Amino acid sequence: MENVQAIKQRFGIIGNDPKLNRALEKAIQVSPTDISVLVTGESGVGKESVPKIIHALSHRKHAKYIAVNCGAIPEGTIDSELFGHEKGSFTGATQTRSGYFEVADGGTIFLDEVGELPMHTQVRLLRVLENGEFLKVGSSKTQKTNVRIVAATNMNMLEAINKGKFREDLYYRLSTVEIHLPPLRERQEDIHLLFRKFASDFGQKYKMPTIRLQEDAMQLLLKHRWPGNIRQLRNVAEQISVLEKERNISLTTLNNYLPRTADTNLPAIIEPKQKESDFSNEREILYKVLFDMKADLNDLKKLTLELLQSSDTNKVQEENQSLIEKIYGNNGDSFEEAAPAIEALPIHEAEAPQAPAVQVEDRYHFAEEIQEEETLSLQEKEIELIKKSLERNRGKRKAAAAELGISERTLYRKIKQYDLK
C-alpha cells in the first residue's frame, strides 16, 4: 500500500497539514474495500481528488471511473442519466439508453454535489446502495449493477436532513466512511506552497518569468480567509501572472486582486441591516396607533353597551375586570366614578318601555358612524402616503412601491382606484 507522500506526488497534491494528511490516510485505508465514502468540505478544497485516489488504489482500478456532477444535470433528466431509459419512455426518447450505473458496472461512480439530488432520485439511489438493483426510466425490468459509490458535498447534510431536503437513510448509507477536507484558511502553512506551485505552473504555461511575493504581500496572502479555497488561490495566481508586468509582487498589488469583503482571517464582520427610511417608520407607527385606537374603541363600546343593558354594575365590573383595567387603568376609582353617572342618567317612567329599543338603535347607528369615520381616516392616510411617496420619488412608481412596501401592480391599482395623477 502506498504511503501519503507517494500519493501526494502521484496525484499532485501539495501541503503538509495534519488534517489533510489524515484525510489522505483514510482514503488509502478504505480503497481496497467496497465501502461507500462521503467526502465533505467547502467548495474549492479539492474533493474530486479523493475518489480518484480511492479508485486508483482499489481492485476496480482497471474498470470504468465515472464522475457525475449532480448539481449540473436538470432534475427532469437526471434519472435517465444515472439509470438509463427505454425507447419511448418520454418525449425525445427515440432509442434505449444505458445510464451511468449500467456503463460503470464493476467500476466506481463519483457523485459530486450529491446533496443536490432530487428526492425521487434519492429513492432510486438508496435501492442501488442497498441491493445493487435499479430500474431504467420507463422499464419494469430490474437490473443488477456492481459499482462502488463515492459521493461528495459541500452542504451541511444534517441541516439538509432536518429541512427535509435529503433522506436520512441515504445519508447513512453514503457516509459509511466520511472523509473531511479542511478549508484553506485552516492550512495556513500550505497557502504559500500552493501559491508558489501555481505561479510556477502559470509562468511555464504563458512563457513568462515566475511571479514572487514580497514579505508583506506574503503575510497578506496568509491572513486572507480564502472563501473560494484552493480554486480561488489558483485564480488569483493566474490573474497576477498574466496581468502584472512587474514580477515582484508588492502588498498593494496583491491587495488589488483580493475581494474587499474578507481581507483577513479574523472573524467575518456582518454588516447591520440598513435602517428603513424615516418614511417607512412613520407609516408603521401611524398604522399601529390607528389599529390600537380602533381596538380600544371597540372594547369601550362593548363595555358601555353592557353597562346600559345591565342594572347590576357590580356584576358587570366583576365580569369585565380586565377590560376595565385596560380602559381606565389599574385604578378602579375611575370606573366607580363613571358607573354612578351612568346609573344616574334620567329615565322617565313613561318613556321606559320604549327607551331600550331607541337607545340600542342609536348606539348601533353611532357605532356605524364611528366605523365609517375610521375607514375614511385610514383611506385618507393611505392616499396621503401614496401621494407623498410619488412626490418624493418624482412619479417613479417602481421606487414608490418599494418605499411603501407593496408591489408595483398594487400601487398602480390604488392610483387608479383613488384617481391619483
pLDDT tens sequence across 84-96: 999 988 888 889 9
Comparing CA positions, the residue from 128, 122, 129 lying closest to residue 164 is 122
What would be the CATH architecture of the domain defined by 185-255?
Answer: Orthogonal Bundle (1.10)
Model confidence at 418: pLDDT above 90: no
Q: In the chain, which residues fall in CATH 1.10.8.60? A: 185-255
Banded model confidence at residue 387, pLDDT cuts 50, 70, 90 = confident
Distances (CA, A) of 345 to 194, 307, 342: 93, 12, 6
Task: Compare 66 and 335 and report the one with higher pLDDT.
Answer: 66
| CA-CA-CA-CA torsion sign (184, 188, 193, 199) | positive
Rounded to the nearest 5°, which phi and psi values hold at 190?
-90, -15
Question: What's the confidence (pLDDT) of residue 326?
Answer: 58
Q: Span 4-182: which CATH code?
A: 3.40.50.300
Would you state the pLDDT for residue 45?
95
The pLDDT value recorded for residue 406 is: 84
**Is residue 331 scored above 60 in pLDDT?**
no
The residue written with cell numbers 482500478 in the block is 61
Spatial distance between the Cα atoms of 5 and 184, rounded to a whole number of angstroms: 19
Residue 352: pLDDT over 90:
no
pLDDT at 26: 96
Contacts for 93 with CB less than 8 Å, ≥ 6 apart: 80, 85, 86, 87, 137, 138
* Higher per-residue pLDDT: 355 or 138: 138
The full DSSP string for 97-146 is B--HHHHTTTSEEEEETGGG--HHHHHHHHHHHHHSEEE-BT---EEE--
- Arithmetic mean of pLDDT, 385-396: 84
Pairing assessment for the beta strands 148-153 and 108-112 based on DSSP bridges? parallel
The per-residue pLDDT for 299 is 74
Q: How far is CA 173 from the centre of its chain?
A: 26
Tens-place pLDDT, residues 240-291 = 999 999 999 999 999 999 987 544 555 554 444 444 445 556 666 777 677 7
pLDDT at 194 over 70: yes
Output 262-267 pairs: Cβ under 8 A, ≥24 positions apart.
262/224, 262/225, 262/227, 263/220, 263/223, 263/224, 264/223, 264/224, 264/225, 265/185, 265/188, 265/222, 265/223, 265/224, 265/225
Start-to-end Cα distance in the chain: 82
What integer pLDDT is reported at residue 221 of this predicted model? 94
Task: Indicate where the chain has its CATH 1.10.10.60 domain(s).
Answer: 350-421
Q: Does an H or E element contain 39, and which? A: strand 37-40
Give the class (CATH, top level) of 350-421: mainly alpha
- Report helix, strand or coil for 65: strand
Question: Stretch 226-231: mean pLDDT, rounded?
Answer: 95
- Residue 307, pLDDT > 90, answer no
> Tens digit of pLDDT for each residue in 8-33?
999 999 999 999 999 999 999 999 99
**d(C-alpha 297, C-alpha 341), whole Å:** 20
More confident residue, 316 or 307: 307
Per-residue pLDDT at 324: 61
Percent with pLDDT over 90 in the chain: 58
Threshold 0.75, pTM exceeds = no
At 382 the pLDDT is: 82
In the chain, CATH 3.40.50.300 sits at 4-182
Q: Judge whether residue 1 has pLDDT over 70.
A: no
pLDDT at 54: 97
Mean per-residue pLDDT of the chain: 82
